[in-house]
Chains A and B, each alone.
Chain A
Amino acid sequence: MDQTERYYVPHGSYWPIVGAVGLFFMMLGVSFWFNGIGLMGWVAWLGIAVVMVMIVGWFATVINESEAGAYSDQVGRSFRMGMTWFIISEVMFFAAFFGALFYARQLAIPWLGGEGNNFFTHLLLYPQFEASWPTGGPLSWGGDFKIMGAGGLPALNTAILLTSGVTLTVAHHAIKDGNRKLTSWGLFATILLGLLFLSLQAYEYIHAYQDLNLRLTSGIYGSTFFMLTGFHGMHVTLGALMLIVVWIRVLKGHFTTKEHFGFEGVAWYWHFVDVVWLGLYIFVYWL
């Protein structure tokens, strides 16, 4: 039977156990570090290093196998389904934080202001508190702060991220038409836009801390603002790194017009990060 028709079952891989050990030392180190045992910070870095090695090594193995044509279409389908469900799980992770935002805005804050069955909460505990959004809470933790408006930087960032989505799609069509030049340029543009977005985001944080006194500690508003944008930022970073890998692979001449899962997976991830940002822009910055 012809090779591509076979389902490839790899044997004895060291990468998973390496990854598990790496994660263990990472978490162990970080935990001790939280307990003020600073030295253990090094254990964490060691763990992170091991995880990095694992990721590189694991992906290298997969890429080689793929280039060696070991994978049938069925294997490709497995990868695609796997990636899809991974992204869905990521969506649910963000859902938890959006949930916190909605709960605080729609329920907790009004209750603290005496709504619903919380008349006495307001009367006896926070008679001076006016329910409003944004807020640092009844004791206005972190002191007064100014909010991050929807105009200006955030709007620009939205434009940037959306454009990056377009350039990536261009690259995607290009790879299907076998136009490598355009593919690599499209990817390159996407990566640049991604990095631009990140640096603007960093600038925005500095601005928030220095000029607006808007901090992680600024009550529920600061908490939700920084946790949501922060985790999104991490995902953009991750996406950008993966894009760079894919870009290099394109330059090296990997992928065919019909077999380019590596590219597609990352593309999906990037679009997911895009969509999350739209949600952020609407609910965190705008409304």
Chain B
Amino acid sequence: MSTATHAEHDHGHHPTGFMRWLTTTNHKDIGTMYLVFSLVMFFVGGAMALVIRTELFQPGLQFVDPAFFNQMTTMHALIMIFGAVMPAFVGLANWMVPLQIGAPDMALPRLNNWSFWILPFAFSLLLLTLFLPGGAPASGWTMYPPLVLQTGDAFPFLIFSIHLMGLSSIMGAINIIVTIMNMRAPGMGLLKMPLFVWSWLITAYLLILVMPVLAGAVTMLLTDKYFGTSFFAAAGGGDPVMFQHIFWFFGHPEVYIMILPAFGIISEIIPTFARKPIFGYAAMVYATASIAFLSFIVWAHHMFTVGMPLAGQLFFMFSTMLIAVPTGVKVFNWVATMWRGSMTFETPMLFALAFVFLFTIGGFSGLMLAIVPADLQYHDSYFVVAHFHYVLVPGAVFAIMAGVYYWLPKWTGNMYNEKMGKLHFWITAISVNLTFFPMHFVGLAGMPRRIPDYATQFADFNAIATVGAFVFGFSQLMFAWNVYRCAKGGEKASAEVWEGSHGLEWTVPSPAPLHTFDTPPVVK
């Protein structure tokens, strides 16, 4: 067993003020920076979404040029995925994993700091393209060649910013794996770990296995554009579709990278507020693992229209459908955890419940997309847009908000404003459906995605979606305000915070002191 020493003197003085944040190696500081960065990116990406929705409010082009619209679509997705959702989960991991396994800090603190500080620079590179001749990338976040090779000056910025994001994610993932595998308190056996830790361990494996593949894919784009290679050009013996295979080999695990930690958070919150242990802990772990495994053999379900051989289409249809099974196990276990519990409905629980409802709806539409003949109709229509926003917004984003409300008192030592929290929840939950549910209908009715203007029969549902988007968007300012107020002060929180709370993080005082578990607790 080991305790931690803190080398207070290794730079003579202990930096304060802004310098403290630049040089910190403390997992709590770094977690906070990740979360703040993610919130900012959420607003920036959201503002772009609002540009999209504004143009789509009515048929006809009223506000932006189609080229700029495509730039918004592309940047919105890249920023939300790599700038908002992923950093938010990494931030939560930084804060909570050491606290939940009784470790003094992350295993590689300096690397941890580097992983974070690469991000702001990576996104500066990406956002800078908005001001370049030719504007930002406009090829969709999927960057399919040959279209992406038509990108103007923005092209190398896009590629290199993605390289940097990948570097950051990989190092962050390494840190999390090493922390979990090497820093657990005595007695904290693998199958005693909280489910949030488990889900992050598996997510980290996914990250390490797929981010380098994305790096390779975009590197091939770079050489195809500037060095005359022909990976994706038929004339030279390549194939544009090859990029899609490599991209989606990364891309599909990526979407689970954005949902597995969410599963973890929900599996923490529901037992707390149902005052009842999680149902089927082991099953939850195995389900998560099998989802992760399956995610490597389903990628081509994004490519059913590219003309794959029949056998390939059948294989990817069946493997994709299989994912419904382990995911179902998780959903059922959550329900079984609530069953005959004694539930209360504080804000985190409200978001968690909404997650289970709405993610499941998104999952169902996903399953429909897996059915190849039907997908030949759904593909690249707004039905797909509806699907992935259901799993990403009321899925990933709701889980993040639930987690923030859940752990905020532990971080700040104060309770957030419950009234405002509940209000925020209800407005958000209603407007999110107003925004994304109608997209199912226009999609089925034949509205393609990535278009700035549409045929008039789609007008009504698009108008509704736009209204919903603005309500949803601006109601998030309430969330930001609530968090800010809570950080500044408020009713003091106890160490346990919640009546039904369970786990090591609740044994340390609120707010959690800068250094926790210097002498590790013993878990029996």
Residues of A within 8 A of B (CB): 1, 3, 5-17, 19-21, 23-24, 27-28, 30-31, 34-35, 58, 61, 65, 70, 72, 74, 77-78, 81-82, 85-86, 88-90, 92-97, 99-100, 103-104, 107-109, 111-112, 116-117, 125, 135-139, 141-142, 216-217, 219-224, 226-227
Q: Which 4 A-B pairs have the closest CB atoms?
A: A96-B216, A137-B237, A220-B237, A16-B114
Which residues in A have their C-beta under 8 angstroms from that of B161?
27
Complex Cα spacing A9 to B5, Å = 6
Across the two chains, which residue of chain B brings its CB closest to A19? B114
Across the two chains, which residue of chain B brings its CB closest to A100? B231
Specify which of B11, B177, B238, B242 is in contact with A81 (CB 8 Å cutoff): B177
Q: What is the number of contacts between chain A and chain B, taking CB atoms within 8 Å?
A: 256
| Subset of 29 A-B contacts with CB under 8 Å | A7-B3, A12-B15, A12-B24, A13-B113, A14-B11, A16-B117, A19-B114, A20-B118, A24-B121, A30-B156, A35-B153, A65-B10, A81-B107, A82-B174, A82-B175, A82-B178, A85-B208, A88-B208, A88-B209, A89-B212, A93-B212, A93-B213, A95-B213, A116-B309, A137-B235, A141-B230, A219-B237, A220-B236, A220-B238
Across the two chains, which residue of chain B brings its CB closest to A101? B231
Most chain A Cβ neighbours within 10 Å, of B8, B15, B118, B155: B118
- CB atoms of A78 and B182 under 8 A apart: yes
Specify which of A16, A90, A216 is in contact with B212 (CB 8 Å cutoff): A90
- CB atoms of A227 and B220 under 8 A apart: yes
Complex Cα spacing A8 to B105, Å = 10
Which residues in B have their C-beta under 8 angstroms from that of A216?
223, 227-229
Which residues in B have their C-beta under 8 angstroms from that of A222?
229
- CB atoms of B24 and A31 under 8 A apart: no
- CB atoms of A137 and B238 under 8 A apart: yes
Specify which of A12, A88, A100 is in contact with B11 (CB 8 Å cutoff): A12
Q: A11-B6, A24-B125 are in contact. Are A58 and B110 (CB under 8 A)?
A: yes
For the complex with contacts A10-B7, A31-B125, 13 further pairs of A-B residues with Cβ separation under 8 Å are A6-B4, A7-B2, A7-B104, A9-B105, A12-B25, A13-B113, A20-B117, A82-B108, A89-B208, A89-B209, A96-B215, A99-B246, A217-B229
Complex Cα spacing A138 to B227, Å = 19
B25 → chain A, closest Cβ, in Å?
6
Which residues in B have their C-beta under 8 angstroms from that of A86?
170, 174
Across the two chains, which residue of chain A brings its CB closest to B3? A6
Complex Cα spacing A72 to B107, Å = 12
Complex Cα spacing A27 to B4, Å = 37
Across the two chains, which residue of chain A brings its CB closest to B208? A89
- CB atoms of B25 and A21 under 8 A apart: no
Which residues in B have their C-beta under 8 angstroms from that of A10?
7, 10, 25, 109-110
Complex Cα spacing A120 to B10, Å = 69
Complex Cα spacing A103 to B15, Å = 53
Which residues in A have their C-beta under 8 angstroms from that of B11?
11-14
Q: Is B522 an interface residue (CB 8 A)?
A: no
Q: Is B380 an interface residue (CB 8 A)?
A: no
Most chain A Cβ neighbours within 10 Å, of B8, B14, B117: B117
- CB atoms of A13 and B25 under 8 A apart: yes
Which residues in B have their C-beta under 8 angstroms from that of A82?
107-108, 111, 174-175, 178
Which residues in B have their C-beta under 8 angstroms from that of A103?
239, 242, 245
| B172-200 interface bits toward A, Cβ cutoff 8 Å, 1 = contact, 0 = none | 01110110011100000000000000000
Interface of A (DSSP majority class): helix
A278 → chain B, closest Cβ, in Å?
19
Complex Cα spacing A74 to B3, Å = 10
Specify which of B1, B7, B153 is in contact with A8 (CB 8 Å cutoff): B7
Complex Cα spacing A108 to B111, Å = 41
Which residues in A have their C-beta under 8 angstroms from that of B142?
none
Complex Cα spacing A279 to B215, Å = 20
| B154-176 interface bits toward A, Cβ cutoff 8 Å, 1 = contact, 0 = none | 01110011011001001001110
Which residues in B have their C-beta under 8 angstroms from that of A11?
6-8, 10-11, 14, 25-26
A133 → chain B, closest Cβ, in Å?
9
- CB atoms of A96 and B246 under 8 A apart: yes
A119 → chain B, closest Cβ, in Å?
12
Which residues in B have their C-beta under 8 angstroms from that of A88?
208-209
- CB atoms of A100 and B246 under 8 A apart: yes
Complex Cα spacing A192 to B25, Å = 39
Complex Cα spacing A47 to B522, Å = 47
- CB atoms of A223 and B229 under 8 A apart: yes
Q: Is B342 an interface residue (CB 8 A)?
A: no
B321 → chain A, closest Cβ, in Å?
23
Which residues in A have their C-beta under 8 angstroms from that of B62?
none
Which residues in A have their C-beta under 8 angstroms from that of B322?
none
Which residues in B have their C-beta under 8 angstroms from that of A28?
125
Complex Cα spacing A222 to B183, Å = 47
- CB atoms of A17 and B239 under 8 A apart: no
A2 → chain B, closest Cβ, in Å?
10
Most chain B Cβ neighbours within 10 Å, of A28, A86, A94: A28
Complex Cα spacing A219 to B231, Å = 8
Which residues in A have their C-beta under 8 angstroms from that of B14?
11-12
- CB atoms of A219 and B236 under 8 A apart: yes
Most chain B Cβ neighbours within 10 Å, of A16, A97, A222: A16
Q: A20-B118, A220-B237 are in contact. Are A8 and B5 (CB under 8 A)?
A: yes
A24 → chain B, closest Cβ, in Å?
4
Complex Cα spacing A82 to B172, Å = 11
Q: Is B457 an interface residue (CB 8 A)?
A: no
| B244-274 interface bits toward A, Cβ cutoff 8 Å, 1 = contact, 0 = none | 0110010000000000000000000000000
Complex Cα spacing A21 to B20, Å = 16
Which residues in B have their C-beta under 8 angstroms from that of A81?
107, 177-178, 181-182
Which residues in A have their C-beta under 8 angstroms from that of B157?
27, 31
Which residues in B have their C-beta under 8 angstroms from that of A20?
114, 117-118, 120-121
- CB atoms of A220 and B23 under 8 A apart: no
Q: Is B217 an interface residue (CB 8 A)?
A: yes
- CB atoms of B109 and A23 under 8 A apart: no
Which residues in B have their C-beta under 8 angstroms from that of A99?
213, 245-246, 249
A261 → chain B, closest Cβ, in Å?
13
Complex Cα spacing A142 to B175, Å = 45
Complex Cα spacing A89 to B5, Å = 31
Q: A13-B113, A117-B307 are in contact. Are A93 and B4 (CB under 8 A)?
A: no
Complex Cα spacing A12 to B210, Å = 31
Across the two chains, which residue of chain B brings its CB closest to A218? B236
Complex Cα spacing A109 to B230, Å = 12
Which residues in B have their C-beta under 8 angstroms from that of A117?
307, 309-310
